[in-house]
Amino acid sequence: MKTKRIFPVAAHAARTVHRRRAGATTTDERDDLAVEEPLEIRVEGRPVAVTMRTPGHDEELAAGFLISEGVISRCDEVRKISSVVNKGRTEPNIIDVKLVRPESVDFARLTRHVFTTSSCGLCGKATIAAVQARCAAIAPDYGPRVEATVLAQLSGTLATAQTVFQRTGGLHAAGLFAADGRLLVVREDVGRHNAVDKVFGHLLLSGKIYPAGAILLVSGRVAFEIVQKALAARIAVVAAISAPTTLAVDFARANGMTLVGFLREGRMNIYAGADRVIG
């Protein structure tokens, strides 16, 4: 499988801001902001989705999106991921995925709704039942067992790795960790579901991370679409710095997953699959 990155990308950019401070003079200053641009994802040259994202790791984002949509599950199903070239000009916000077996894609289902916002990765799903039908539940003996003391330290590790957030304050992050607390990969994006797709795309394209041993941590809240994506990628343990939704909890319980919320300041709430957390 080939990937080809042709153009440079920037995750943050400066803009002028008029700053007012209490008891001080106002000043015009330069401020770093998170970059947000649309990415059109194509499969075999056909547009299937447009998502607002932070440029960078677009190949991983496309692969992760297709994992979440049930189009691919292994790296060897992908023949090539590349930027689109139109009349000799590289299109920086269009990426095309070529598959080994393109005839297996249900384009009618995949293209039913082609626009997702940066805050919601679930837009366009016909029903929750259709999502659940694509993915088998996770067996009780699958997935890592993790010490509670190790789990409690992951939020600090993720925060330290959020380099663009530290400059802008405007990005979500997702990270994959090993059961011993090692950070395996982190990705940042203006959309929380995009950050998750990027780490899952890295998991698939790199072939160096085994989902059965990985823990997903997201920097904000965890809603249904995040847990659904984790199930599609066969990640059994999902944690979040903030709260889960009721549907995320119900979905995790129904599918044999572990779901942890409010993972910060040495504390956590375990909403599902507490048997995978030791101590």
Taking only the tens place, the pLDDT of each residue in 36-68 is 888 999 999 999 988 889 999 999 999 999 998
Burial of 271 (0-12, 13-18, 19+ CB in 10 A): buried
CA-CA distance, 180 to 258, in Å (whole number)? Answer: 17
Are 240 and 223 a contacting pair, CB within 8 Å? Answer: no
pLDDT band at residue 113 using 50, 70 and 90 as cut-offs: very low
Instruction: Give the residue with greater pLDDT, 126 vs 25.
Output: 25
**Quick one: average pLDDT of 74-81?**
95
Same domain, 232 and 269: yes
CATH number at residue 97: 3.10.20.10
Confidence band, pLDDT 50/70/90 cuts, at residue 129 = low
Domain range for 151 is 146-278
> Are residues 190 and 230 located together in one domain of the fold?
yes
Query: Is 135 an active-site residue?
Result: no
Asked whether the predicted pLDDT for residue 26 surpasses 80, the reply is no
Amino acid 195: pLDDT: 95
- Assign 125 a pLDDT band (cuts: 50, 70, 90): very low
Q: What is the pTM of this model?
A: 0.85
Query: Given a cut of 80, is residue 90 above it in pLDDT?
Result: yes
What is the model's pLDDT at position 30?
A: 81
| Beta carbons of 220 and 172 less than 8 angstroms apart | yes
Say yes or no: 104 and 191 in one domain.
Answer: no
